[in-house]
């Protein structure tokens, strides 16, 4: 039986009710997203609440965390309530479109999401896992379109995506008059192709893109100094 929780340095994530368990993608985004001058943050598709909790550890912003799934909403509330950051995180049961249309009260300095990413692939028989992983429930275009209406003038959108979606997110950004201001190509081991994309979009026009690469492991369970530096405030054994 899988461990029902994952222990970080300053909080615990229970994930026994959630379709998507604690994984590297969420940790990467929670550690990488730029929290400079953030007062209000929105986490779309919060799942267990892991990204919201990581951001709360890194800054003093107020954070709204939404999820369409009832069990994920319940688990995120449980994890937030047991954390030292409960007073600054508000967990909301709503879809992205519902929240944008009628629930949102704030403009956000930062919107983060680890969105569904399997497109036109064989779906898992577990419906909750399918909703969490497939774009049927929230396409990338819808996510960006809704996020734009919730951004403050200087706000940013930070995402973790499969690297194959780089061309798609570039096209969507152009259609929404967004600039790519940061990009990190995530490579699992030396010599491999990028597997994940950490990307930050802004309504502020810029000709300068801060682009780099991040290699996670030098060998099996031997993490690179760069990955350790990024995640050491969270992982117990880093």
The per-residue pLDDT for range 150-175, each reduced to its tens digit, is 999 999 999 999 999 999 999 999 99
pTM: 0.90
pLDDT at 45 over 50: yes
Instruction: Report pLDDT for 237.
Output: 85
**C-alpha to C-alpha distance for 52 and 41, rounded to whole angstroms:** 8
In the block, which residue shows the tokens 């940790």? 27
For the chain, domain boundaries = 5-231
17 pLDDT band, cuts 50/70/90, is: confident
Q: What is the pLDDT of residues 87-144, one digit of tens each?
A: 999 999 999 989 988 777 779 999 999 987 744 333 444 444 444 443 445 799 999 9
Pick from 22-36, 91-105, 214-228: least confident:
91-105
**Tokens read off for 175:** 């259609």
- Topology of the domain comprising 5-231: Rossmann fold (3.40.50)
Least confident residue range of 58-62, 119-123, 212-216: 119-123
pLDDT score for 66: 96
125 phi and psi angles, rounded to 5 deg: -65, -20
CA distance 238 to 235: 5
pLDDT of residue 121: 38
Place of tokens 């992983």: 133
* CA distance readout (Å), 45 to 50, 61, 103, 226, 238: 11, 18, 15, 27, 27
The per-residue pLDDT for 137 is: 56
Tell me if 21 sits within 8 A of 58, measured CB to CB: no
Pair of tokens at residue 86 = 């409960």
pLDDT digits (tens, 9 = 90+) for 225-235: 999 999 999 99
Q: Which residue has the higher pLDDT, 84 or 117?
A: 84
Identify how many contiguous H helices and E strands the chain contains and give both numbers: 8, 12
For the chain, give the mean pLDDT. 89
């Amino acid at each position: 039986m899988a461990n029902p929780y994952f222990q970080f340095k300053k909080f615990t994530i229970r994930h026994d009710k959630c379709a998507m368990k604690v994984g590297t993608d969420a940790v990467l985004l929670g550690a990488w997203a730029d929290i400079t001058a953030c007062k209000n943050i929105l986490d779309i598709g919060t799942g267990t609440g892991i990204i919201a909790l990581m951001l709360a550890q890194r800054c003093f912003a107020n954070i709204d965390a939404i999820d369409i799934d009832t069990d994920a909403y319940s688990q995120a509330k449980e994890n937030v309530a047991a954390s030292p950051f409960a007073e600054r995180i508000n967990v909301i049961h709503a879809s992205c479109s519902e929240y944008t249309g009628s629930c949102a009260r704030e403009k956000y300095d930062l919107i983060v999401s680890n969105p569904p990413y399997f497109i036109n692939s064989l779906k898992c028989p577990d419906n909750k896992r399918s909703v969490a992983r497939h774009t049927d429930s929230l396409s990338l275009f819808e996510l960006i379109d809704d996020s734009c209406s919730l951004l403050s003038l200087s706000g940013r959108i930070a995402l973790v995506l499969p690297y194959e979606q780089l061309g798609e997110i570039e096209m969507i950004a152009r259609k929404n008059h967004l600039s790519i201001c940061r990009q990190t190509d995530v490579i699992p081991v030396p010599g491999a192709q990028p597997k994940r994309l950490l990307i930050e979009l802004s309504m502020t026009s810029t000709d300068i893109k801060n682009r780099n690469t991040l290699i996670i492991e030098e060998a099996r369970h031997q993490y690179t100094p760069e990955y350790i530096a990024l995640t050491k405030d969270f992982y117990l054994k880093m």
